[in-house]
Amino acid sequence: MTTTSYLMLAASLIFAGGFRAQGAQKAVATAASPANASVAAAASPNGAIASGAVAANDPDYKIGPLDVLRIDVWKEADISRLAPVRPDGKISLPLLNDVQAAGLTAIQLSAAITNGLKDYITNPQVTVSVNEINSRRVYVTGEVSHAGALPLLPNMTVLQALSSAGNFTPFARPKKIYVLRVEGGQKVKHPFNYKEVLAGKNQEQDIALQPGDVIVVP
């Protein structure tokens, strides 16, 4: 093989290697993009847990019944524990017995426990965190592939909730969907025409959901 042939072969190998490297870098960058990260998170089987974590990290989140709290009291392992919030809104702690938790933020509950422990412990230092959110949920029922409870994220709308409930069944009537909500002790229906909202029409139907709302897909 001549010198010229060797040079041409070497140049082609270098070019091919560089092309493959650029392709690999592009693939890594694409996979790491925020958009794809969001899609992967939404598709994750732990998506509900992640959604709950988002709400739990909100400092204004109000604790509700059936939530699970992590109570940490510095240097007091016998008091520190996971504490489920009972249906009556209270938790049980050594020394303090029943403590009202529902309706308070984690910071407010931490202050209440701290004040209560001052009668038993010198300078108690208490940290409260929301370990599981079970009180803020909405429900999707009817002709969808994944009916059931969903964690209620801040400002979640009907359309967003439906996107987490899977596909409609062949028997679904997406123009007749409604949200069942208790208002003033009465059950009220809020109509939702899926096809209209998806087409950008009558967007006022895509209301922000409240805890306990039931989305019915007839």
pLDDT in tens, 98-127: 999 999 999 999 999 999 999 999 999 999
pLDDT at position 57: 66
Residue 208 lies in a domain: yes
Residue 77 lies in a domain: yes
92/141 same-domain check: no
The rounded distance, in Å, linking the Cα atoms of 60 and 109 is 12
128/141 same-domain check: no
The rounded distance, in Å, linking the Cα atoms of 174 and 156 is 19
The rounded distance, in Å, linking the Cα atoms of 186 and 190 is 13
59/120 same-domain check: yes
Residue 28 lies in a domain: yes
Percent of the chain with pLDDT over 70: 74
- Predicted model pTM: 0.57
Domain of residue 190 covers 137-217
Domain count, the chain: 3
CATH no. for residue 66?
3.30.1950.10
Residue partners of 89: CB distance under 8 A and separation at least 6: 64, 65, 100, 101, 102, 103
* Alpha helix ranges (H) inside the chain: 3-31, 34-43, 47-56, 106-117, 158-163, 194-198
Domain boundary among 132, 162, 187: 132
Percent composition of the chain: helix, strand, coil (DSSP 3-state, to 5): 35, 25, 40
141/121 same-domain check: no
Query: Quick check: 165 and 146 in contact, CB under 8 A?
Result: yes
Residue 39 lies in a domain: no
What is the arithmetic mean of pLDDT over 64-86? Answer: 95
Averaged confidence pLDDT in the chain? 80
Neighbour-count burial for 87-121, b at 16+ CB within 10 Å, e otherwise: eebbbebeebeebebbebbbeebbebbbebbeeeb
146/201 same-domain check: yes
pLDDT at position 100: 97
pLDDT: which is higher, 59 or 97: 97
| Model confidence at 50: pLDDT above 60 | no
Residue 47 lies in a domain: no
Tens digits of residue pLDDT in 177-218: 999 999 988 999 999 999 999 999 999 999 999 999 999 999
Domain boundary among 132, 162, 194: 132
Domain boundary among 102, 132, 162: 132
